[in-house]
Structure 1
């Protein structure tokens, strides 16, 4: 499955919507996503599993890039 992860770059800062970033990655589950990103010290706000229609929509964005972990 492909997941969209919304996060802040530092887990020590208060989340601010304007500084929220996103990344896309393939994983078995949301728990697997968290396990793969644990060493990055991100403040993960939300993990969303993308269905085919949503994935195609996200691919239209110039910011779309799959993360290799």
Structure 2
């Protein structure tokens, strides 16, 4: 499955909508995504599993790239 992760670049940052970034991670569960990102020291706001339709929509973006973590 592909998960969309919304996060702040630094773990100490308070979430601010204008600075929220996103990345896409392939994993089996949300817990696995969190384990993979633990070393990156980011402040995870939200993790969303993408269904087929939503994934197809996200792939249309030029910024779409599945992270290799």
TM-score normalised by structure 2 residue count:
0.97
Unaligned runs of 5+ in 1: none
Are 1:39 and 2:39 an aligned pair?
A: yes
Number of the residue aligned with 2:6: 6
Q: Distance in 1 between matches of 2:27 and 2:61?
A: 21
**How much has 1:62 moved relative to structure 2?**
1.0
- The alignment of Structure 1 onto Structure 2 pairs a total of residues equal to 69
Q: Distance in 2 between matches of 1:8 and 1:64?
A: 18
**How much has 1:14 moved relative to structure 2?**
1.0
Number of the residue aligned with 1:18: 18
**How much has 1:25 moved relative to structure 2?**
1.0
- Superposed structure 1 runs of 4+ greater than 2 Å apart: none
Q: Distance in 1 between matches of 2:66 and 2:13?
A: 25
Are 1:59 and 2:45 an aligned pair?
A: no
